[in-house]
Chains A and B, each alone.
Chain A
Amino acid sequence: MSEAVNAKFEAVVRDPLILGHKSYHQMTEDICRPVEGKANKYWWTAFIISATTMTWGILCLAYTIGNGIGSWGLNKTIGWAWDITNFVWWIGIGHAGTLISAILLLFRQRWRMSINRSAEAMTIFAVICAGLFPLFHTGRPWLDYWMLPLPNQFGSLWVNFNSPLLWDVFAISTYFSVSLVFWYLGLIPDLATIRDRAITPARKFIYGLLAFGWKGTARDWLRFEEVALVLAGLSTPLVLSVHTIVSFDFATSIVPGWHTTIFPPYFVAGAIFSGFAMVLTLMLVARKVLSLEEYITIQHIELMNKIIILTGSIVGVAYITEFFMAWYSGVQYEAYAFQNRAFGPYWWAYWSMMTCNVVTPQLFWFKRIRTSAMATFVISIFVNIGMWFERFVIIAVSLSRDYLPSSWTMYSPTFIEVGIFVGTIGLFFTCFLVFARVFPVIALAELKTVIKKTGNQYKHKGVLHK
């Protein structure tokens, strides 16, 4: 007989992942409620704040387009600063979504099912925010199509496939489009649920279009699961390649502090680290506002915190390794770059990074802290800040003092640059808030397959079954 009929609780020693007494219908009700009901005042407050911030960012971008990137604080020595820092930061944040949806799928981690949908949405919004920076940093964003391998009017001069910047164009556009498809295919059955529950004709029509006529036959589900598995298999090397290629932007150059072979694994670990912090920041708020505490439990938070300890420690080891190599290599420029990081004029950025990324996540070794929603929220914000400083330290601080002391200089952002960055945060939260009202934030159909293995009321039955 099949697995479904013999459904046993996953393992008796494990805590249930879904609390309360949930039937399939109750799960549908709980998860469709935020989409079908009216928004509460917390949602509207958050939405108005983020939409206002986003508008400010749009105005700053418009000013940049009108006046050129001379309106930013960049100079001849420091050509990459806030813009590329923000780009790398946002791209990194996106990585946690793919890790949860793809890598944890391959590892058969059932706890991912409560959080994968919103983490994937977060990936997509983070990549949109990230993409804005290089697109506008070109100075003439209306010519951005020059980055594509198109024949053009200057003779057949093509893009340079030897350049990591072009690899970035391919990596990020592939990452964005594949993540979008992965996310949307997963949404189709849940959109069909909303379609079939719809009361108003408008809702029925819109969700009918969005659900693509999903009917859920045995063949459909067979293909659906196969597609999800193969997409996970494709996304796993893809997500690792994206931050690897982003790190190549730096590692293939000769700037001291950038020219390091450790960059790819170090950037990928940092990306997952910052991404999980952002997932936690979002989830802790979302589970409260959408009353999903029975689906996104303290156990989920604890498991994510464990990933934060792991990746945070990898990042910490990478920082120390970089320092060791700067000394051990005997290259004076490299040694100076690192001395300058820790004790130069930007010492505060370096030590903020060390405190937020290396010290604070270690607090998660204490069970009381990693199972506390409040403490996790605070530490996740610290990690977000720390990872932003990491990108700033690598990018701007390395550039500020390289080989030629006569060109050494300092950098400070203009209010336009700050406005664009804050604006992308507004854009990110606006997108997420709209997503939480329009789409089911939990992968409903997928979660129904595991309620008998991970639900609270089945734990006891699992014991009896043995």
Chain B
Amino acid sequence: MSRIIYGIYDDESDLMSGIENLQAKGVKCVDAQSPFPVHGIEKLLNVPRTRISIASFMFGATGTTLALWMTWYMMVHDWHINIGGKPNFMFYMNLPAFIPVTFESTVFCAAHGMALTFLLRSKLLPGVTAPIPHPRLTDDKFVLHVEVKNESKLDETAGLIKASGASEVLMKSLQFA
């Protein structure tokens, strides 16, 4: 049965060199937790590029469509009023006046849709309990998640993690969503 053990590093450069060191020895590093974004770690850990900006674009396109439909329906189709000698007969003739609302609606949907996607995708919601292997993880400690395939190799892997520059090795079991 495989399990995860945690290597604690004191600096992001120790973490990065630690990962390279361990990977060279065939140890499987699955994830890392850090108090701030460590650039380049996603390549080492083979984390694919996020597609959240594509989601944002699609939410934005939805916002544009909704606003165009809404202005057409309310101003041109359902009840067109002649305000100050400026009637609302044709959608394309009034379109310039609808641009500001269309723009705002696009930004509104793109921003909020993306923010919600991010929260749901990263399982961030009020009431969620965070799996925190080390209490100073959000302060100045860097945690590497190492997968151990075989229980018998536990001590050996812990030794390798220690040798790669980790200050501590923790054997906890935490539930990661």
CA of A446 to CA of B34, assembled, Å:
12
Q: Give chain A interface residues in 132-166, CB to chain B under 8 Å.
A: 149, 155-164, 166
Q: In the assembly, what is the distance between CA of A387 and CA of B49, in Å?
A: 45
| CB of A214 to closest CB in B, whole Å | 6
Task: Please give me the residue from chain B that is nearest to A158 by CB atom.
Answer: B74
CA distance A445 to B86 in the complex (A): 53
Chain B min CB distance to A261 (Å)? 15
Are A215 and B33 interface neighbours, CB within 8 A? yes
Closest chain B residue, CB of each to CB of A26: B140
Interface majority SS on A: helix, strand, loop or mixed?
A: helix
- Asked whether, in the complex, the Cβ of B130 is within 8 Å of the Cβ of A213, the reply is yes
A157 to B100, CA, bound (A): 21
Residues from 206 to 242 in A contacting B, C-beta threshold 8 Å? 208-227, 230-231, 234-235, 237-238, 241
Interface size range on A against B: 35 or more
A170-B97 in contact (CB<8A) = no
> Is A25's beta carbon under 8 Å from chain B?
yes
Q: Given A216-B33, A227-B115, A171–B86 Cβ distance below 8 Å? A: no
Q: How far is the CB of A168 from chain B (nearest CB, A)?
A: 9
Interface set, chain B 142-177, CB cutoff 8 A to A: 176
Q: Is B40 an interface residue (CB 8 A)?
A: yes
A342 at the binding interface (Cβ < 8 Å): no
**Complex alpha-carbon distance, A212 and B32, angstroms:** 19
A230/B13 contact (C-beta < 8 A), A157-B79, A162-B88 known: no
Q: Is the CB of A185 within 8 A of B118?
A: yes
Chain A residues, Cβ within 8 Å of B136: 25, 196
Q: Is A448 an interface residue (CB 8 A)?
A: yes
B119 touches A216 (CB 8 A): no
Name B1-57 residues within 8 Å CB distance of A: 12-13, 16-17, 31-45, 47, 49-50, 52-53, 56
Instruction: Say whether A408 faces chain B, with CB atoms less than 8 Å apart.
Output: no
Contact yes or no, A188 B124, CB < 8 A: yes
In the assembled complex, how far is the CB of residue A219 from the closest CB belonging to chain B, in whole angstroms? 6
A28 at the interface (CB under 8 A from B): yes
Question: Which B residues touch A355, using CB under 8 A?
Answer: none
Does A278 sit within 8 A of B, measured CB to CB?
no
Q: Are B50 and A223 in contact (CB under 8 A)?
A: yes
**Are A448 and B35 neighbours in the complex by a CB distance under 8 Å?**
yes
In the complex, the answer to whether B108 meets A218 with C-beta atoms within 8 Å is no
In the assembled complex, the Cα of A231 lies from the Cα of B118 at a distance in Å of: 12
Q: Which residues of B contact A445 (CB under 8 A)?
A: 35-37
Q: How far is the CB of B73 from chain A (nearest CB, A)?
A: 9
Known: A181-B112, A213-B128, A245-B100. A174 touches B107 (CB 8 A): yes
Please judge, given known A-B contacts A171-B100, A208-B129, A234-B110, whether A161 and B139 are in contact too, CB under 8 Å.
no
Given A5-B40, A149-B70, A166-B101, A178 and B114 touching (CB < 8 A)?
no
**Is A464's CB within 8 Å of the partner chain B?**
no
Specify the chain A residue showing the minimal Cβ separation from B129. A213
**A230, B104: Cβ atoms under 8 Å?**
no
| CB of A44 within 8 Å of the partner chain | no
CB-CB nearest in chain B for A164: B100
Please indicate the chain B residues that have their CB under 8 angstroms from the CB of A23 in the complex.
140
Q: Contacts A160-B83, A161-B74 known; A221 to B118 CB distance under 8 Å?
A: no
CA distance A188 to B122 in the complex (A): 12
Q: Are B52 and A3 in contact (CB under 8 A)?
A: no
Structural contact, A193 and B35, CB atoms closer than 8 A: yes
In the assembled complex, which residues on chain A have CB atoms less than 8 Å from the CB atom of B128? 212-213
- Of chain A, the residue at the smallest CB distance from B41 is A218
Closest chain B residue to A159, Cβ basis: B74
**Which residue of the partner chain B has the closest CB to A225?**
B37
Closest beta carbon of chain B to A25's beta carbon, Å: 4
| Complexed CA–CA distance, A161 and B75 (Å) | 7
Q: Among B33, B123, B127, which residue has its beta carbon within 8 angstroms of that of A209? A: B127
Residues of B within 8 A of A13 (CB): none
Question: Given known contacts A226-B53, A234-B107, is B101 in contact with A170 (CB within 8 Å)?
Answer: yes
Whether B36 pairs with A448 at a CB distance below 8 angstroms is: yes
Q: Is A67 an interface residue (CB 8 A)?
A: no
Interface core residue of B60, B112, B118, B138 (most chain A CB under 10 Å) = B138
Task: Report whether A223 and B52 are in contact in the complex, using a CB–CB cutoff of 8 Å.
Answer: yes
- How far is B124's CA from A211's CA once the two chains are assembled, in angstroms? 8
Asked if A197 is at the interface of the complex by the 8 Å CB criterion, the answer is: yes
User: Is there an interface contact between B100 and A170, defined as CB atoms closer than 8 Å?
Assistant: yes
Q: How far is the CA of A28 from the CA of B140 in the complex (A)?
A: 8
Closest-CB distance, A211 to chain B (whole angstroms): 7
Are B123 and A4 in contact (CB-based, < 8 A)? no
Alpha-carbon distance between A152 and B39 when the two chains are bound, in angstroms: 53
Residues B83-107 near A (CB distance < 8 A): 83, 86, 88, 94, 97-98, 100-101, 103-105, 107
Given contacts A170-B101, A217-B31, A222-B37, 5 further A-B contacts (CB under 8 A): A3-B40, A25-B136, A162-B83, A212-B125, A213-B128
What are 7 A-B interface contacts by the 8 Å CB criterion? A2-B16, A160-B75, A163-B83, A177-B111, A196-B138, A226-B50, A238-B104
B residues touching A (Cβ–Cβ < 8 Å)?
12-13, 16-17, 31-45, 47, 49-50, 52-53, 56, 60, 70-71, 74-75, 78-79, 81, 83, 86, 88, 94, 97-98, 100-101, 103-105, 107-108, 110-112, 114-115, 118-119, 121-132, 135-140, 176
Question: 10 shortest A-B CB distances, which residue pairs?
Answer: A2-B40, A213-B128, A24-B140, A158-B74, A221-B37, A212-B124, A167-B100, A170-B104, A193-B138, A448-B36
